[in-house]
Structure 1
Amino acid sequence: MVTTVAFDADQTLLDTRRAIEAATLELCAQVARQYPGSPALEVADLHADAVAAWEAMPERDVRTVRSIALARSLGRVGLGHAHGELSEYYFAARQRLTHPYADAVSALSQLGERFVLGYATNGNSRAELCGLAGRFAFELYAHERGLAPKPAPEFYAAVLAAAGVVTGPEQVVYVGDSWSHDVVPARAAGLRTVWVNRGGSTVPDPGVADAVVVSLADLPAAVRSLAA
């Protein structure tokens, strides 16, 4: 019997890609205002530095990787000394500009009438800062209190523990947009899985996900079907 639905955050419930783009533009504008004599901070350089940092440190927490990338970008334009204040400006903007997808709140409301809801993410998008305060019975953030990030089995063990599973991991449905970080490892840990495939990509391995949806509007029906 399904009792709990746990969610990935970034690009599943939250449109973080758009928020990152907007926060990056805000940071560039802030640098131009605050340091008019320095070379312009370029969006392309910020993006390239972020990609390089992620490739070099895939297991580090999101905030640390982004901070290191920002340090590289700011150092390139002679603003390494302002890294602290400008990185805080960026992170504040990123949280402020992160919003749920249009289909997220209704899906959560419907599912919350019947199931326990959880929020379990590798990212640093705080539910209470991104328009989802009070929606979840539990929240788990990788790297906090030593929690290993996805796709580590320990992450999914923590989800099961937070959900208070008593009969078996199939009580929990994990919903996420990443096939490799959300679907495959959750399935290996015994959870039921729903892949949020907004782009309509080909399913890599049919049968691994218990359900595939292109919109969270379709999620309540998919979960009810799994719970039947």
Structure 2
Amino acid sequence: MSSEGFSDGLLEEGEGKNPVRALLFDMDNTLFDLVGAQMTACDAVVKAFSLNGKHQLYPYFLRPVHGYESYENIRDFMHDCGITEKQSFGMACRIYEEEKIREITPYPGIVETLKEIRTRELPMGIITDAHSRDAVRRLERSGLIQFFSCMVTYDLVQVKKPAHTPFLAALEMLRAKADQVLMVGDSPRRDIEPAKMLGFRTVYARYGDRFPDDRLPVRADYCLDSPADLPVILTALSGTVR
């Protein structure tokens, strides 16, 4: 469960601190592989335009121009490829969205882990930069929406992580103090750093981080290579015996 730069001191973490009474999860790439779903959706758009090669469109979504989920990335791609028909843009957006949703499935072990946490009667929430309509759609598609009692989305707080506002809003919804909440996320910068600054216990979901080689060391309290290891950490931090 641990790696260089990450602590695995289960006993040390539990000493002198409040037991964990709630969990907060990032959604995309923590519960399911959104990057993989987007890559597949982008390739479907490229194929619809009868263009050769894979992964031509996806790099457009990685640029700091329109935002990671903006359809304007598709428009820029079409412009660079000389595709100008207005109706083609609408078609491309529909293909992209339909294929992306179709590809969303929980990571192996996620469903079983959430079921295990639910048996402990610990509330679970979502904190995401996605809009509520997209978050609900993805959680419904993945079959995971049933596990979560609250959700903080971009349209609710009007700022994105790593701003502290989404985390503070989640604490209000969970009716918990920061040191009673375990934050699980795949991004050291957007999930782990702000949560630690506010006093959360933190778990880095390394299994979902598609760009780990670009990461500077971030001292999350725990590191997961599999969602199935989360209940082990939770047992130590919640003051329960399983």
The question of 1:111 aligning with 2:120 is answered no
Q: Give CA-to-partner distance per residue, 1:157-198, whole Å, 9 cap, x none.
A: 111111122xx2112111011111111111111211111122
Matched, 1:100 2:99: no
Provide the C-alpha distance between the structure 2 equivalents of 1:203 and 1:111, rounded to a whole number of angstroms.
31
TM-score when normalising by structure 2: 0.78
Moved beyond 6 Å, runs of 4+: 199-203
Whether the 8 Å CA contact 1:41–1:77 is kept in 2: the answer is no
Name the counterpart of 2:145: 133
Which residue number in structure 2 is paired with residue 35 of structure 1?
none
Aligned counterparts of 2:173 and 2:53: Cα–Cα separation in 1: 42
- 2:181 aligns with 172
Give 1:37's aligned residue: none
1:22 equivalent in alignment to 2:40:
yes
The separation in 2 between residues aligned to 1:98 and 1:175, in whole angstroms, is 19
Normalised by the size of structure 1, how large is the TM-score?
0.82
Q: Which residue of 2 aligns with 1:70?
A: 74
One-letter code of the match for 2:125? G
Query: How many equivalent pairs are there?
Result: 209
2:112 is matched by which residue type in structure 1?
A: S
User: Residues 132 and 16 from structure 1, CA distance in 2 versus in 1: closer, same or farther, beyond 3 angstroms?
Assistant: same
Deviation of residue 94 (structure 1)?
Answer: 0.5
- Residue from 74, 88, 92 that aligns with 1:86: 92
Give yes or no for contact 2:157–2:165 (8 Å, CA) kept in 1: no
Distance in 1 of aligned mates of 2:171 and 2:128: 14
Residue type matched to 2:126 in 1? Answer: Y
Residue 194 in structure 1 maps to residue 203 in structure 2:
yes
Partner letter of residue 169 of structure 2? Answer: A
8 Å Cα contact 1:96-1:130 kept in structure 2 = no
**Residue number among 213, 216, 225 corresponding to 2:227 in the alignment:** 216
Structure 1 residue ranges without an equivalent (≥5): 33-39
Whose relative contact order is higher, 1 or 2, with alpha carbons under 8 Å and at least 6 apart? 2
Partners of 2:191 and 2:231 in 1: CA distance? 18
Runs of 5+ consecutive residues of structure 2 not aligned to the other structure: 1-18
Instruction: Work out the CA distance in 2 between the residues paired with 1:80 and 1:149.
Output: 34
Identical-pair percentage: 25
Q: 1:80 to 1:149 in 2, by over 3 A?
A: farther
